[in-house]
Each structure stands twice: as structure tokens, then as C-alpha cells.
Amino acid sequence: MSYQNTYEQWKKEEFLDRELKTELENLSNNEAEREDAFSKPLEFGTAGMRGILGAGINRMNIYTVRQATEGLARFMENSSEASKSRGVAIAYDSRHKSPEFALEAAKTLARHGIPSYVFESLRPTPELSFAVRHLNALAGIMITASHNPANYNGYKVYGESGGQMAPKDADALTAYVRSVENPLQIDVVPEDEAKEKGLLQIIGKEVDDAYLQEIDTVTINRDLVREEGKDLKLVFTPLHGAGKMLGEKALEQAGFTGFTFVPEQSVADPDFTTVKSPNPEEHSAFEYAISLGEQKGADLLVATDPDADRMGVAVKMPDGTYKVLSGNQIGALMQDYILKARQEAGTLPGNAVVLKSIVSSELSTAIAEKYQTKMVSVLTGFKFIAEKIQEYQEDGSQTFLFGFEESYGYLVKPFVRDKDAIQALVLIAEVAAFYKQKGENLYDALEAIFEEFGNYQEKTISITMSGLEGSAKIATLMKQLREDPPATFGGANVVSTEDYKLQEKVHADGAVTTMETPSSDVLKYFLEDDSWIAARPSGTEPKIKFYIGVKAGSEEVAEEKIKTYSAAISEITNVTS
């Protein structure tokens, strides 16, 4: 069916949501927008789906949410009639339509006799991950678009382990979702009826309390926190999202009472009116926190994204200004502290393991080696860290101590199987307290790490290519990189290339070795100066990302390398796009 016919089908739908009807009328005079909204379904992949709010099969609305949930229900029914009675946990963040989408998912499941457990109000993504395991649910749904702009929302599916679905199950689920041809014709059970039948249950405090009880185990040195926690000056901003309530309770529970919220950003606001982007990766997201931090003389500033699975940190510099740390730097600080504290306490397991993504800093590997701890790199996406945790839990081969991604995602304890900004908030406060007791701060700690291991610097270049044309450009770029692989970057020779899609590592002499990681559309180049560059199309956004990692004897030399390789990447993308 052509996009024009699909558009007309939606216009003729008698019971279409009134707000969407108005939007359809507005699209009548905008052919480009109409084509984008109706030419193809919103992509549903291993991370679920994410898109712009609005009318159309390529938009987030109650009908595409029903379609995704109908696919999940069919997937669960195929698993077994008995297991589907375990139900689905559902949570949502502060975005536009998030509560409505959560209820639509529950009402769709109810039509199949599948019970759902819906949080009473907004909750962080990590608590949803926890709730799946805590409630012994068969699956979980999180309504969120993470740190995307305000006009986005999304739908993430979790498996019974509490992690996002493994590729095999995700592929099967995707097939079921795509088999639902017309999202307008999916029946749902009315909310009151679903509640009366016990198919829609509202949850809240009991799960919160259980989650916070586990959060209490994140603290490593209770004596330290007892001595320093009340004096640590911390400014916390949840960036208008779901992190406030549990973040506040977690800090107080641990013993940190000297923290202050950024008042303007502590209110749940789907428009994120005080920030250009509600993303702790963006330095501009710290504008309000920095202003308040300067007034309070804060030791550190912490920001969580709208669904509180990512955390960013800014530290006070010697001149009194604040510097926003990278995700890799935050990960290094937390990892070094965990391993050091566990070693000094005599509780560092002989089979300890740290997990990171393939595009995260190799500084983490160097730190792990110091403490004789195994480092394992996995594909980008926290579900791959969660898979490894589950594997280690089942075979007992390794003891998980820490996992992180460069994109500001961290996990300390595996009672959650996704990145957890609430855990990270508690731990980074403890790390700051540790250094404050020594008369230092996190900047001093990072400088000491660089002095010991070398100056590691990283950069991510994100190139947006929107619409159908953008998707084609990204595919063409990756194709050309494979067919005509670069031999050098910025004058440095490529000594080997890892192609995660073909699962091959090609060496400069032409030798090829097979890789054991799952297939993924990623290329990673290793250069003769110990630097590396990776190219990866985003799975959830219309972007292609290039990652650069370098090591040098000084910050100045490292930054010069970053500039050189950034220019080389710019040349490649300009030529091929």
C-alpha cells in the first residue's frame, strides 16, 4: 500500500483519536511530512522503538503502541499459556503521552488475558528492570525516549531476566510486531474492566522499597560515608525527569544529607523547558546546576536524564569553575574506586570481572589489569552487558563488579540489568566523599589516574541524517567503508580492522581471524599509535556515530591526536555523503 493510501485509511478511521485527527488535517498540505509519517512503519528492533510523537505508522501514538504490544502478546502466547500468566511490568517517564501509552499497552495485553503491573506514576528505567525480576514477570515495557528531544517518545521491551531482550528473542518479537498489519484494528479492554478482572494492577511503594533496599548495598565503605556524607556538598538535577524521588531517597538512605536540588529542574516537565537537550552528555544541561553549584560551593554536580538510566557529573576545578566529565572519565573514577576499596577490604574476588562496550575507553582495561581483574568488551547496548551478567550468574565463572558504556551508563550491582543512574548517583557521591576526606576532589583523582596510566582521551562524533534519504546515506557510507577500507587515518596506518557485521578481524598483512561477538553493523580500526576509531550507525536514532580513542603522555598531545583523527573522519564523511 502506498503512503498516500495509508494516510487516507487513517483519515477515514471513524474512531481515531481526536488529537491525531487534527494532525492528519495539518499533514494534508505537507507532502514531505506526510510521506515520512506514512511511508514505512516505525522501526522496531532489539531496543524496541523510538520516534516523533504524532499521527502515522512511522510515529509514536496510541496505535503504534498497541501494535507493538499486540506483537509482544503474541510472542508471550507462543512461549506458553502458563508462562504468560506471569504478566508484564510497565513503567513510564515524564514525557508527553507516557502515562497514556503505558495504559494502552496494559489494555492491549488485557485483551489477551495477560496481566500487567503498571506503576502509579513516573519511575526510572532501572526500577522497571528491577521490577521485572522482583515481580517474576515474563516481560517489561518502559515508555521512554531517554534523552531525546521533547517531541519524541519510545517503547522498550525487557525480558524475564530484567535486561532488554536478547537478539534471538528480540528478532522473534520483531517478527510478531511486523505481522500486525493494521494498528487501527487492534481491540483493547477498557481500563475499568481490566482492573475489575485483575488484569491491570497498579504498583508503587512496595516495589520502591524493595528497590531502595537493594540500592543500600551499593555503598562500599559505610564508615567513610558516615564520616563525610553529611559534609559533602552535592547539587543534583534530574533534568525534569524521573530521577528525583528515588534519587533523593537513595542519597538520604546512604547518609548524604548535604545535597541540593536544582529547583527549576526538579519538576517533571515533558517540554524540558530549561534545557536545549535533557541529556547529561551535553554540557549545556549543567547550566542551572553550575549556577547553583557556584552559589553553594558544591564539591560536585550530578545530572540524570529523563528516565534516570544515564548520569553525568561536573567537578570543581582549581579555579573554582566546573568541568563536565566524559562518560569514560566517570567510569574510570568509579571502577578504580570499586577495585581499590574491595582490594583494601579484602573482598576483591579472584574471578572478578568488569564489563564495557567496544567503543568505551581502554583506560578501563588498564585499570582492570592493575587489580588483576578480567575486562570483557561487548557490543554497544547495555543488553549485552546484561547478557554477560546472566551468563556469569548461571555458570559461576565470574563475579560481576562493574559495567559501563561511554554514553553515561553505569551499573554497580546486578539486581538491575540495565544502566542505573540511581546506583551511579550513590556511588559517585561515595567516591567524592573518599577524595574529600583526603583533601582532594574528583578532578584531582582523575589527574592521578592519568599520571599513573597515561592520558586517555575520547571523542564521539555524531552525524544526524534524517528521513528516508538520511537512512540511505548512512547505509551507503558503511558500504563504502567496507568496500574501500581506509589504510590510514590522519597519517597513522591502520594495523587491523574489526568488522562486527562480518565477524572478522582483518590484519594489515591480509590475515583474517574470526570474531566471537554477535553480528552488528560496526567497524573498528586499530592504528599504529595505539589509537582506535570506530564507526557505528545508531540503532534508535537517524545518526551515524564515529568514536575516537587515543592515549598519550600529556593532555595536549592527546587532544592534538583527537583533532587530527576528527579531521580525517570529517574528510571521509564529506566525500561519501
Catalytic residues: 146
Distance of CA 20 to the CA centre of its chain: 29
Q: How many CA atoms lie within 13 A of 570 on its CB side?
A: 6
Give just the sign of the alpha carbon dihedral 406, 410, 414, 416. Answer: negative
Beta bridge partners of 458: 549
Look up cell 530484567; give the residue.
162
Across 414-425, b (16+ Cβ under 10 Å) vs e yields: bbbbbbbbbbbb
C-alpha cell at 78: 507462543
Question: How far is residue 521's CA from residue 478's CA, in Å, rounded to a whole number?
Answer: 8
**Close Cβ partners of 150 (under 8 Å, ≥ 6 residues apart):** 95, 96, 270, 271, 272, 278
Distance of CA 186 to the CA centre of its chain: 30
Instruction: Give CA separation, 374 vs 140, 188, 230, in Å.
Output: 31, 49, 35
Look up cell 564523511; give the residue.
573
Question: How far is residue 507's CA from residue 510's CA, in Å, rounded to a whole number?
Answer: 5
Closest CA relative to residue 101, chosen from 138, 56, 148, 68: 68
Question: How far is residue 102's CA from residue 97's CA, in Å, rounded to a whole number?
Answer: 9
* In contact, 379 and 356? CB cutoff 8 Å: no
Helix, strand and coil content of the chain, in percent to the nearest 5, comes to 45, 20, 35
Question: How far is residue 160's CA from residue 343's CA, in Å, rounded to a whole number?
Answer: 33
The β-bridge relationship of strands 259-261 and 234-237 is parallel
According to DSSP, residue 164 is labeled B
**Close Cβ partners of 347 (under 8 Å, ≥ 6 residues apart):** none
By CB atoms closer than 10 A (0-12, 13-18, 19+), residue 69 is buried
By CB atoms closer than 10 A (0-12, 13-18, 19+), residue 538 is middle
- DSSP H or E run through 365: helix 363-370
DSSP calls for 76-137:
HHHH-HHHHTT-EEEEE-SSTTHHHHHHHHHHHHHHTT--EEEESS---HHHHHHHHHHTT-
Termini Cα distance of the chain: 30
